[in-house]
């Protein structure tokens, strides 16, 4: 049966949204089709008014195998804004994991890993053909500037990087049935 990529992407967005809300961080889904942004995170100011603090682009990975990474594009090399973060959702483990990363780091890793790959010879010694496709991966088979073994782990569930204080008390009581919602499976 074919997988609906829109549904898989929505599952990742809703997982990130639930993780934020359960921490007392007020967030909402951006309208479908919004450029760059999937979720908006609000911050209560000193006057009590809410304003948008940061935005999040969600990338979702469902299957195992391959390089363990997420699809990116050339345009992600240029999205380095202090208000923009990425949430890389990995549904492969039994308990899904979210890696929260500033867009400046994403842009640097996407740009540097692709540039390094372009400099290396292909499997038969030929030059690689350039394309719009890029990857974010836990590790590469070649050295990438600023990336080391285990580099992605520092971003695992790193919600504090958003710099947003909770607007409400974090959820302290689990609701019966939460365990099924927390570990959705799409196999």
Tell me, what CATH number does 100's domain have? Answer: 3.40.1350.10
Q: Centre a 10 Å sphere on the Cβ of residue 145 and count the other Cβ atoms it contains.
A: 11
Torsions phi, psi for 180 (to 5 deg) = -75, -35
Distance of CA 80 to the CA centre of its chain: 14
Within a domain: 187: no
**Domains of the chain: total:** 1
**Average pLDDT of the segment spanning 93-112:** 96
Model confidence at 1, pLDDT cuts 50, 70, 90, reads very low
Determine contact, residues 57/86, Cβ cutoff 8 Å.
yes
Please tell me the predicted confidence (pLDDT) of residue 181: 45
Give the pLDDT confidence of 36-81 residue by residue, as tens digits: 899 999 988 888 888 888 999 999 998 866 888 999 999 999 989 9
Query: In which domain, by residue range, is 115 found?
Result: 5-182
Percent of the chain clearing pLDDT 70 (strictly above): 87
Please tell me the predicted confidence (pLDDT) of residue 64: 65
Please state, in angstroms and rounded to a whole number, the distance separating the CA atoms of residues 57 and 143: 26
> Can you give the pTM of this predicted structure?
0.85
């Amino acid at each position: 049966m074919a997988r609906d990529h829109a549904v898989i992407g929505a599952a990742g967005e809703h997982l990130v949204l639930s993780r934020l809300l359960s921490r007392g961080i007020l967030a909402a889904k951006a309208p479908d089709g919004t450029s760059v942004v999937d979720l908006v995170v609000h911050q209560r100011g000193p006057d009590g008014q809410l304003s948008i603090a940061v935005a999040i682009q969600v990338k979702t990975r469902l299957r195992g195998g391959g390089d363990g990474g997420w699809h990116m594009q050339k345009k992600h090399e240029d999205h380095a804004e202090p208000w923009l973060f990425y949430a890389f959702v990995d549904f492969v483990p039994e308990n899904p994991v979210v890696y929260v990363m500033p867009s400046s780091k994403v842009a640097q890793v996407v740009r540097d890993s692709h540039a390094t790959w372009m400099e290396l010879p292909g499997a038969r010694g030929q030059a690689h053909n350039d394309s719009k496709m890029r990857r974010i991966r836990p590790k590469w088979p070649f050295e990438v500037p600023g990336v080391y073994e285990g580099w992605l782990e520092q971003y695992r569930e790193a919600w504090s990087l958003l710099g947003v204080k909770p607007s409400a008390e974090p959820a302290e009581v689990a609701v019966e049935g939460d365990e099924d919602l927390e570990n959705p499976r799409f196999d």
